[in-house]
Structure 1
Amino acid sequence: MSVGDVAGLIAAIAFVLLVGVLAIPLVKLGRVFDETTASVKEITAHTVPVLDETATLVASSNTQLENIDTVTTAAAQVSENVSALTALFAATVGSPMIKVAAFSYGVRRALSGLGASARKGR
């Protein structure tokens, strides 16, 4: 063997060692990609049912909101009816009651005035 052959052999061995050293991180990187793929598949498997449940919950919430809207509308109508009934009662019964109260106040004043003048006259 000549010196050139030995140098070539050393260069070939160095190249093989270099390729081996560089192959180790590449193999580890491949394992990382495999684990990442498995993690993404697992996350997807757990996320899809959660999204389905969320869609069902939102649909159920919309139904409940429609029911609440119906109840709120009914409550507003009841409030309007009570207000109208109160106004009708005040117009129908309120005015005569005020007149009766004023009349009874006047009678009491008159009677108290008579009682006071009768006591003064004695």
Structure 2
Amino acid sequence: MLTGGQLAGLIVAVFWAVLVTFIALTLLRLARLLREASDVVRDFGDQAGPLMDDMARTVRRANEQLGRTDVITKQVAGVTQNVSAVSTVMSSVMGGPLVKAAAFSYGVRKALANRDEGARRDGARRDGGERALQARSSGRGRR
């Protein structure tokens, strides 16, 4: 049989064998993981170049469009100023005479309306007065 020292040495040897096996398996898995990571990095590096080129093209086109938009905005600002100036001139040129013409036409309409109303009232008075005279002269006025 085994002595106490031999048994302890056997237990330590088995423990070390299990530990070395565990470490070896872990290192194999770690090596596989590093291989996969290096493949991912390589693929990313291969795709990053064309992606950066596309991004640079997109930024250049966006800058071109912004330049065009800036030119258009400046032209619209100029048109706005021109329209404002034209409307100011038109209101000063046409505004006064149009207001005067509107006031004149209102006055004429008011005068004609007052004249027609006065003529109707005078006609009603004349008709009423003639009827009263006819009624008195025919003897029908009083009974």
Larger Rg: 2
Amino acid at match of 2:52: L
1:44 to 2:42 alignment: no
Under a length normalisation based on structure 1, what TM-score does the superposition of the two structures give? 0.78
Matched pairs, number: 115
4+ residue runs over 4 A deviation: 13-20
In structure 1, the residue matched to 2:34 is 33
- Aligned-pair identity in percent equals 33
Q: Give ranges in structure 2 of 5+ residues lacking alignment.
A: 1-5, 124-143
CA deviations over 1:19-69 (Å, ceiling 9, x no partner): 862334323322321221111101111122112211210111011011111
Q: Give ranges in structure 1 of 5+ residues lacking alignment.
A: 1-5
In structure 2, the residue corresponding to 1:119 is in which secondary structure? Answer: helix
In structure 1, the residue matched to 2:105 is 104
Deviates more, 1:51-60 or 1:16-25: 16-25
Cα deviation, residue 79, structure 1: 1.4
Larger RCO, structure (CA 8 Å, separation 6 or more): 2
